[in-house]
Amino acid sequence: MFKNYFKIAVRNLWRHKAFSFINILGLAVGMSACFLIYLYVSFETSYDNFNTKADRIYRIVSDVKTPSETINAGITIAPLAIDLKKDFPEVEDAVRFASVAGLRPEDIYYIITSCGEELYTSSYLGLYKRMMEYFKTGSSDSLFRIVQYDNFRTFMRLAANYNVLADFLSKMPPEKTAGLLKQFISGIENDLNTGLEKAMDIADSFTGLDSAIVIKELIQKELQSNLNSCQSAQSYFGIQLYSILLQVFDLVKQKDDLSKLWSTLGNYDILKRNDLKNKNGEIVQVVLFYGDEDGISSFNGFQKLFTGKSNKAKWKISQNNAWVEIRSVSDEPIVIYANLPLNNKDELDLKAQDSLFNFLEQQGIEPTVLMHRGHSYHLENTLKRLTPSVKLAILGSCGGYNSAISIASINPDAQLIVSKKTGSKSINDPIINVINETLLNNEDLSWPLIWEKLSFRFSNDEFTRNLFNEYIPPGKNVSLFVLKLFNFYNRSV
């Protein structure tokens, strides 16, 4: 009976070929569509189901706005984890390093050395900790043999900056430590094009060795040995570099006696108030803003530093269509000029800056303080405004540290306050406030005292404390001192 039904069905299909094709095709498409929809819904509803706490996992995404577009990305900045846990008690924990769990030590090494300048302290330390898990029983110097010493100097400098160089060197035998430091320090005189840059890398490593007495002694011994070798070989370039490095090393080692270096460069731990005054006895500051959303927000926060009941007796504010003038009410006034953050799409913010500087030039006013309040991609425009009259430059943008060398080449005598990583108005505004309060009290700018005040101010908030720790005062930029000393000795020849 079933066989008979089958024959009838086949004959009908064969007799009505077109009709049969349409029906079978429709059925196939319908079944395929249902199956694909099922797979899609099943996939979307099963996301993270492998985790026993899937119903408590949330993903944070970012909308990154640039001058030309908005980028939607499934990543966020590292400090957001800290901020969310602080502001939302229901956030129990945040996962930031799951994506590197399966990576080899050499993979993490290249992440560190390629992105080290953009990493937050906690991110660097997290990556370093995971990398070092592979060397619990072996010698850590084997890492360099794996990568064939690629980016070797960069890794050593970053490790010192984040205070883990001593830990890294302790994971290898003493003779390996000595050999590694010798390789890091020696031979920089052999390349005239990169020797100065390598010397600056070496100087950067000095700051993270406060408690590593043995390592500091090895470094000093190696610097002296290389200086002696260069003197024997009559290598003037090498003699310059190693002599400078020994001077800077003394600065870091002997915190209470800075007279040797300061006698050559001038005291970078202090900026005298009189040095900031012009011929009229005024201290003129210029603050440059840019007309994007963050620039407008920064400008509004900046203005609040000079308004309110407590500030009305101290400051007088006037404004035109291009800039604002903030003048202190005192016998030797502080005068602050800040351009308005007008629309940057039509470059109205740059035109406002042009108008401001044209006014200053016409009036014969030379600013001694220059502040950058914008993103790092605006910094190029700010640096164009840098003049020899500027004695203090404050770069309140991300990675301002990376532009320190450019500023030193334009104005070698300027003192710099820069951030190695993230610039933030939550740090910039207090720095500006403390500086101006000090000047209003007719006091010199003592950077150790100012940094002590700011450190106390940020001590109760982990997020802002971490941000502030990335800022470098003028007296702590040791790699820049190498450049300044090198230029000083070359000018003296």
Is 474 in contact with 418 (CB distance < 8 Å)? no
In sequence order, the 6+-apart residues with CB closer than 8 A to the CB of 241 are 188, 189, 195, 196, 199, 486
Whole-number pLDDT of residue 32:
93
**H or E segment at 75?**
none
Spatial separation of the C-alpha atoms in residues 159 and 157, rounded to whole Å: 5
* CATH assignment, 270-476: 3.40.50
In sequence order, the 6+-apart residues with CB closer than 8 A to the CB of 449 are none
Q: Between helices 174-185 and 152-161, what is the axis angle to 10°?
A: 110
**H or E segment at 295?**
helix 293-304
- Token pair of 93, please? 């924990």
Spatial separation of the C-alpha atoms in residues 211 and 213, rounded to whole Å: 6
**H or E segment at 343?**
none
DSSP assignment of 244-279 equals HHHHHHHHHH-TT--HHHHHHH--TTEE-GGGGB-T
Whole-number pLDDT of residue 65:
65
Q: Which one, of 371, 369, 395, lies nearest residue 278 by Cα? A: 369
Spatial separation of the C-alpha atoms in residues 313 and 82, rounded to whole Å: 39
Whole-number pLDDT of residue 369:
93
Measured CA to CA in angstroms, residue 90 lies from 56, 96, 389 at distances of 10, 18, 53
Measured CA to CA in angstroms, residue 202 lies from 196, 241, 345 at distances of 10, 11, 42
- DSSP code for 444: -
**Cα 379–Cα 383–Cα 386 angle in degrees, nearest 5:** 150
Any bridge partners for residue 419, and if so which? 471
What's the pTM value of the predicted model, to 2 decimals? 0.67
Domain residue ranges of the chain, discontinuous segments joined by +: 2-45, 270-476
One-letter amino acid of 278? N
Give Dmax (Cα) for the chain: 116
- pLDDT, block means (10 residues), the chain with 493 residues: 74 79 87 92 80 77 66 64 63 66 84 73 78 86 89 84 80 87 89 86 74 78 92 92 89 63 78 89 92 87 85 87 91 90 88 93 92 82 86 75 67 80 80 92 92 90 80 82 81 59
Measured CA to CA in angstroms, residue 55 lies from 41, 48, 313, 339, 407 at distances of 17, 9, 56, 50, 52
